[in-house]
């Protein structure tokens, strides 16, 4: 099997680390990019203890909320002179109890999960094109089915609701993947875009999130249920990585697909196609988000 160069954001823990472990076991070269420099180094050291000796592991620092960090990270990868065969846009946070903004003034969850990956994919585009048949995989979630985009208040300045901010960010990730593939199809490019979700996967996301007096009863219940499920219920991060590995290494799914486990309300089990929610099926909404993201980041894509 041909070795691939795989870049995983948020790869120091949780689903990202599960993806890194799976790609490492398959013999691919893995770069873990994470805000937590020490965590990324520990992850690389742990993964180096097993797996093929000729599969390279590297740790990189990346703050997706900081445009300068994204630019610097992409520059370091370009200086290596190696293509990027697989880009896993995984990093994200569970929204803090009280609204936080990125240095540019964007709601932090949206800034990291969507705008940061929008910038990163653009910055790594030359390396993706160099690979010839690269794959960009955006991690979304089942919560996208309840989500909407609030273009009139994406930063939640009027009324911040953590669970709603999380839903919006995950919907944006999915819309980015869908719109990217539409543009790739129009340009007849060999790069492919996919979206994936891990089902119910045990991670530490939201572990340190304090309760907010701004949360109503439904929001507190939704937050508590999601946090408990992510920490204590469901499959391991390695099993949660199966949809990502499937779209990265096989021809089973058509580019543009949204893939995840199929059993028990899509919480675990064999990998298959996952239905898009109403907002994710809206092509005009996806195009509008793309244009808005270009305006927010100052980037223009030639896809």
Which residues, other chains included, contact 30 with Cβ-Cβ below 8 Å and sequence gap of 6+? 6, 8, 11, 20, 23, 24, 47, 55, 56, 57, 58
What number of other Cβ atoms are within 10 A of residue 76's Cβ? 15
What φ, ψ does residue 81 adopt, rounded to 5°? 80, 20
Query: What is the helix, strand, coil percentage profile of the chain, to 5?
Result: 45, 15, 40
Is 160 marked active-site?
Answer: no
Report how far residue 269's alpha carbon sits from residue 261's, in angstroms, rounded to the nearest whole number.
5
Which one of 94, 160, 166, 194 is the catalytic residue? 166
Which residues, other chains included, contact 55 with Cβ-Cβ below 8 Å and sequence gap of 6+? 3, 24, 27, 28, 29, 30
CA 54 to chain centroid: 27
Handedness of CA 136, 102, 280, 282 (dihedral sign): negative
CA 141 → CA 86, 169, 195, 230, distances in Å? 20, 10, 9, 12
Indicate the length of the chain as a whole number. 303
CA 133 → CA 41, 128, 138, distances in Å? 29, 8, 16
Structure tokens given for 252: 């089973």
Structure tokens given for 206: 């939201």
Structure tokens given for 301: 């894509």
Confirm if 40 and 11 have CB atoms less than 8 A apart. yes
Q: Catalytic site residues?
A: 166
């Amino acid at each position: 099997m041909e070795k691939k160069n795989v870049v995983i954001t948020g790869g120091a823990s949780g689903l990202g680390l599960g993806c890194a472990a799976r790609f490492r076991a398959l013999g691919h070269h893995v770069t873990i990019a994470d805000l937590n420099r020490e965590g990324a180094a520990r992850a690389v050291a742990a993964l180096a203890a097993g797996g093929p000796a000729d599969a390279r592991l590297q740790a990189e620092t990346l703050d997706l909320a900081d445009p300068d960090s994204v630019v610097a990270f992409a520059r370091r990868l370009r200086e290596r002179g190696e293509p990027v065969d697989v880009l896993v846009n995984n990093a994200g946070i569970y929204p803090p109890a009280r609204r936080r903004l990125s240095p540019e003034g964007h709601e932090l969850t949206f800034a990291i999960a969507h705008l940061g990956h929008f910038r990163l994919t653009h910055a790594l585009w030359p390396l993706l094109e160099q690979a010839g048949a690269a794959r960009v995989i955006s991690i979304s979630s089942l919560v996208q089915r309840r989500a909407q985009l609030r273009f009139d208040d994406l930063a939640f300045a009027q009324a911040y609701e953590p669970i709603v901010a999380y839903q919006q960010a995950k919907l944006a990730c999915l819309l980015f993947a869908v719109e990217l593939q539409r543009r790739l199809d129009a340009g007849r490019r060999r790069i492919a875009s996919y979206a994936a979700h891990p089902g119910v996967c045990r991670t530490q996301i939201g572990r340190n999130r304090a309760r907010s007096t701004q949360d109503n009863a439904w929001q507190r219940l939704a937050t508590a249920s999601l946090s408990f499920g992510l920490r204590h219920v469901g499959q391991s991060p390695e099993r949660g990585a199966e949809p990502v590995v499937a779209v990265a290494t096989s021809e089973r799914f058509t580019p543009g697909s949204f893939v995840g486990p199929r059993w028990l309300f899509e919480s675990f089990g064999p990998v298959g196609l996952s239905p898009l929610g109403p907002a994710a099926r809206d092509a005009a909404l996806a195009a509008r988000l793309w244009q808005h993201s270009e305006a927010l980041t100052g980037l223009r894509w030639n896809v």
